[in-house]
Amino acid sequence: MNNKKNAARSKSKNKTKVMLRSAVLTTGLTAQLLSGSSVAAHAEPATYEGDSFAYLSQYLGLGAAYAEPADDTLSDQPFEALGESGGDTGGGSPGTEIPEADLAWQSLTAESGDQSATLRYTKPRNFEDGRLEISGDDGMNYETVNPSNVSNLTDTSLTVTGLVNGKTYYFRFAIKSHSNVGYSNFVSATPKGTLPPAETPPPVETPPAAPAPAPTFEVPAPTTAPTTAPTTAPTTPAAGAEESIQVLAVSAGNLTTRSASLTRSTAEDGSSRAELRLTPQGISQASEQAARGETLAYRLPQLSGTAMQILLDGSTLAPLSSKANKLSVSTADVGITFPVERLRLSEAAQRLGVTSDQVSIRIEIEKTPVSTTPGAWTKAVGAVPVGDAYAFRMIASSGSKSTDINGYDRRYGEQTIPVPAGSDLASLGAVMLVDGKYVPIPVTFKDGQAILHTTGGNPVLLVRYDKPADSGKWFDSAVSASTTKGILEGREVAAPLDREAFARMTVRALGLESYGTNAASSLAALRSAGLYEGLPASVQSDGAITREEMIAILVNASRQFDLQLNALAPASTTAKNAFGDAGDVSEWADSYVETAYAAGLFRGDKGQIIAAQRQGTAGEAAALLVNLLRSTGLADPAGK
């Protein structure tokens, strides 16, 4: 994208200017851009080492201005009182590049009046011409406000008159500076008439209105059968809040404008709500600019403690799916990222009797009560809830029918929730509600937030486990970590495993419980998840499990779920050269063992032999599973 399409502004009183260029935020750089350092004025993205999302949020965020090349001179009814008077140039001179943050009125707000709306703003320093624009069709089309309808004009506010009470209007400023056109954030106002005096006209007696039902944010139990679409509880706009503001989509280092609209409101019980509607043109534009596999991110850092609804059409996901893009939406405390290509949308559409491009998608993110029903904790024995539970529900609807979208096919998404202050991260795990029971899922931690890696959108929460005492064994660290993650389930570390027991540990470690919903065993769940694909039939039945089988199944898990194995410790040679008994490895398992050794998933029995044909133990399985989680990024590194 032309780097003049990206503009930013500081929310601080000093209004620090930042020139945002197209190098900002590529997926490949994200790992290096998460140190949380503060940003400097005019920081070049190539040298910026802070959180790339914070960079964008702090200087763009909600209501941010953007700039684009000027296609005309804004001569269409220029609003001369605001434009050609020029104002303070702030030291600018012809031929000097003007900070793009000065191209548009900043912090535009609107206040409704009687057949009028009062706009307040901060006047920019550098501009040549400008106009005030108004839309009466939900921001789809704008036209210039007639100057005769503007009164009380100052450098910080004005009033637009001649409006119709009860109708919602959207406003924005368009300002030209040199070859650029800047737009402010857009705001809305709904004029309302003043109440008549109490004595005239006489009051009309009417029966008292029935009290409006209190809104509820409880999440119904997931269902796979079509149901009648729920009725949204009534809400009222939050006092003084912008009802609709612009946000920006981030992809492949570029920003796409007009990509979504956000509506904030307050429910009758006083709780905050927000609705983010993603526009087809915004998603399409972002996808065109994004590289294959990139994440399209919508960041709303000003929202916290808010129940969210994210709305989009199934038809808009096609370009993202074809390029294997991920879609991400986050507020200051919660967020969701999911692989569009593997979203089980077609299954949901089939239940509705339509095709994927004919459904509307709603994603609900909100707090939900922790389940206390009998049996809810039978698969998470010893886990103690920590903090709030959150529901991440994805719903497909068509007409009056709706059905849940049941997660992703052999891929992980991410759900972000806050970590309660003072928590000991080393003792925290995470669980997800599946079929009425809490089951373990992988979790990592960063900057006071927990990132839960899931294959679906079920209610989730953090839990605490008591860590076991050290036994002096080489796998103590893994045993401690696997206990925290609910993997070991109290097994003795020296206990020999059969294939069903190992499959159960694997299902718990990788959060694959949803694959066993209709399965008679954990072995069947692994088959459903694809972890036995390509392995001999002889290793897929009941019986003792060997060390090479455990290794092969976990390497296969990384392949089936597209998880990159990153070496935990560099291997100086191959397993075949490192171990004297490498010749005992079955031919079918050889490539799996070499891959696992190169990634550091195992180091051999006593560091000398693979013992490929020996029966595996619970402690060894725990070490393999924890190392797999750490290597693939589904768990934090050791010692963190």
Hey, how many other C-beta atoms are within 10 angstroms of the C-beta on 132? 28
Give the pLDDT band of residue 450 (cuts 50, 70, 90).
Answer: very high
Contact 218, 393 (CB under 8 A): no
Checking if the pLDDT of 607 tops 70, the result is no
Report the pLDDT value the prediction gives residue 457, as an integer from 0 to 100.
Answer: 67
- Phi and psi torsions of 381, nearest 5°: -65, 135
In the chain, the percentage of residues whose pLDDT exceeds 70 is 66
Checking if the pLDDT of 204 tops 70, the result is no
Going by C-alpha positions, the residue among 444, 410, 617, 435 that lies closest to residue 530 is: 410
Where do we find the tokens 């009028």?
116
What does the alpha-carbon distance between residue 324 and residue 303 come to, in Å, rounded to a whole number? 28
pLDDT (mean) for 126-153: 80
Cis before 201? omega within 30: yes
Q: What six digits make up the tokens of 65?
A: 């201005």
Read off the pLDDT of residues 386-432 as tens digits, 9 standing for 90 and up: 999 999 999 999 999 999 999 999 999 999 999 999 998 988 999 99
Fold of 104-189: Immunoglobulin-like (2.60.40)
Q: What six digits make up the tokens of 503?
A: 């499959």
Contact 279, 259 (CB under 8 A): yes
Q: What six digits make up the tokens of 569?
A: 């410790």
Checking if the pLDDT of 190 tops 50, the result is yes
Q: What six digits make up the tokens of 533?
A: 């694909």
Runs of H (alpha helix) within 441-546: 476-484, 499-510, 522-529
Contact 390, 368 (CB under 8 A): yes
Checking if the pLDDT of 216 tops 50, the result is no
Mean pLDDT taken over the chain: 74
pTM over 0.75: no
Contact 111, 152 (CB under 8 A): no
Going by C-alpha positions, the residue among 462, 461, 488 that lies closest to residue 476 is: 488
pLDDT (mean) for 134-152: 83
Taking the alpha carbons at both ends of the chain, their separation in whole angstroms is: 38
Checking if the pLDDT of 31 tops 60, the result is no
On the 0-12 / 13-18 / 19+ scale of CB atoms within 10 A, 448 is: exposed
Domain boundaries, the chain: 104-189, 241-466, 499-632
pLDDT (mean) for 272-284: 85
Q: Helix, strand, or coil here: 580? A: coil
Runs of H (alpha helix) within 438-546: 476-484, 499-510, 522-529
Question: Which residues contact residue 320 at a Cβ distance below 8 angstroms, ignoring those fewer than 6 apart?
Answer: 283, 287, 296, 327, 340, 341
pLDDT (mean) for 588-597: 96
Query: Count of alpha carbons within 13 Å of 500, Cβ hemisphere only?
Result: 6
Going by C-alpha positions, the residue among 557, 526, 560 that lies closest to residue 541 is: 526
Read off the pLDDT of residues 331-355 as tens digits, 9 standing for 90 and up: 999 999 999 999 999 999 999 999 9
DSSP bridge partners of 404: 395
What does the alpha-carbon distance between residue 438 and residue 432 come to, in Å, rounded to a whole number? 5
Read off the pLDDT of residues 512-565 as tens digits, 9 standing for 90 and up: 998 876 667 899 999 999 999 999 999 998 899 999 999 999 999 999 999 999
Checking if the pLDDT of 246 tops 60, the result is no
What does the alpha-carbon distance between residue 560 and residue 456 come to, in Å, rounded to a whole number? 16
Please count the helices (runs of H) and the strands (runs of E) in the chain: 12, 28
Per residue, the 3-state secondary structure of 322-376, as one string, reads HCCCEEEEEECCCEEEEEHHHECHHHHHHHHCCCHHHCEEEEEEEEECCCCCCCC
Read off the pLDDT of residues 32-44 as tens digits, 9 standing for 90 and up: 222 223 322 222 3
Which is more confident, 162 or 179? 162
The three-point CA angle 413-416-421 to 5° equals 155
DSSP bridge partners of 172: 133
Going by C-alpha positions, the residue among 88, 166, 160 that lies closest to residue 124 is: 88
Q: What six digits make up the tokens of 54?
A: 């914070």
Going by C-alpha positions, the residue among 450, 298, 435, 445 that lies closest to residue 389 is: 450
Hey, how many other C-beta atoms are within 10 angstroms of the C-beta on 187? 24
Whole-Å CA distances, 328 to 51, 112, 295: 16, 34, 7
Checking if the pLDDT of 256 tops 80, the result is no
Report the pLDDT value the prediction gives residue 624, as an integer from 0 to 100.
Answer: 94
Cα-Cα-Cα-Cα torsion 622, 628, 634, 637, nearest 10 degrees, comes to 80
- What 51-55 contacts at long range (C-beta under 8 Å, 24+ apart), as own/partner pairs, is 51/447, 52/24, 52/25, 53/25, 53/250, 53/297, 53/299, 53/330, 54/301, 55/18, 55/24, 55/25
What does the alpha-carbon distance between residue 140 and residue 69 come to, in Å, rounded to a whole number? 20
Going by C-alpha positions, the residue among 18, 44, 41 that lies closest to residue 33 is: 44
pLDDT (mean) for 273-296: 84
Residue ranges of E strands in 435-551: 437-441, 443-446, 449-454, 460-464
Residue ranges of E strands in 576-636: none
Going by C-alpha positions, the residue among 245, 104, 128 that lies closest to residue 182 is: 104
